[in-house]
Chains A and B, each alone.
Chain A
Amino acid sequence: NAGVTQTPKFRILKIGQSMTLQCTQDMNHNYMYWYRQDPGMGLKLIYYSVGAGITDKGEVPNGYNVSRSTTEDFPLRLELAAPSQTSVYFCASSYGSGTGDMFYNEQFFGPGTRLTVL
């Protein structure tokens, strides 16, 4: 199992450019998440998905969009990049706790994408 993979690892954007951060998991998890981590801060939830075709906003969704056409993939789209979006982005996946077993609640994280908007 590769677990959760993210591409690219690093990216520099100019203000106003757009890009898509890719995230793929091979663990058949129904839940997927996108977080951002600003320097010296914790993780903030951008968007999440509880299954293919179902997505919803998290704490800081403005400036981002997501889609979930398959169980495996959960891309994050940045439209009109702004300097405030400079951050490290983490994708994560897990089973939902509706499975009834705590063991499945663990979130598995990708290695992160460091994005700089200049």
Chain B
Amino acid sequence: AQTVTQSQPEMSVQEAETVTLSCTYDTSESDYYLFWYKQPPSRQMILVIRQEAYKQQNATENRFSVNFQKAAKSFSLKISDSQLGDAAMYFCAYRSGWDRKTSYDKVIFGPGTSLSVIP
């Protein structure tokens, strides 16, 4: 069974600095997708960035980028020029490829990392 691990329950960063959140996963599949979601105090789940496993190029969305290491099963999130609005819980998520038997592609979330931004 697939698992997603986020080894840092809490992180903090100075405003305008860079922080990296780690995520590792375990799978025997070759076709899958990875996501980072942000959950601010409002509780809304917001997609930050996504990565297809078959792509070697790391995904980038403005100040957010990932370091995807498929062989190591690692998917870290780097936030550059941190802003106060980046303070939130960050969840790493794994989505399997489509399963013909179940017609369902499983989504598994990690336990989350709470990020604080210090002014």
Give the distance in Å from the alpha carbon of A45 to the alpha carbon of B102 in the complex.
16
Q: Report the nearest B residue to A41, measured CB to CB.
A: B111
Q: Given the complex, which residues of A lie within 8 Å of B45, measured CB to CB?
A: 90, 92, 107, 109
Q: Report the nearest B residue to A111, measured CB to CB.
A: B44
Interface residues in A, total, Cβ within 8 A: 26
Check A42/B98 contact, CB under 8 A, given A90-B45, A97-B105, A109-B45.
no
Give the distance in Å from the alpha carbon of A45 to the alpha carbon of B33 in the complex.
18
- Cβ B43 vs Cβ A112 within 8 A: yes
Give the distance in Å from the alpha carbon of A98 to the alpha carbon of B99 in the complex.
8
Tally of A-B Cβ pairs under 8 angstroms: 57
- Chain B 23-55 per-residue mask, 1 if CB under 8 angstroms from chain A, else 0: 000000000010100000011110100101000
Check A106/B98 contact, CB under 8 A, given A41-B112, A50-B103.
no
A-B contact pairs, 17 of them (CB 8 A): A31-B104, A40-B112, A41-B111, A41-B112, A42-B91, A43-B91, A43-B109, A54-B103, A92-B45, A96-B105, A98-B98, A102-B52, A105-B33, A105-B95, A107-B35, A107-B47, A112-B43
- Which residues of A are at the interface with B, using a C-beta cutoff of 8 A? 31, 33, 35, 40-45, 48, 50, 54, 56, 88, 90, 92, 96-98, 102, 105-107, 109, 111-112
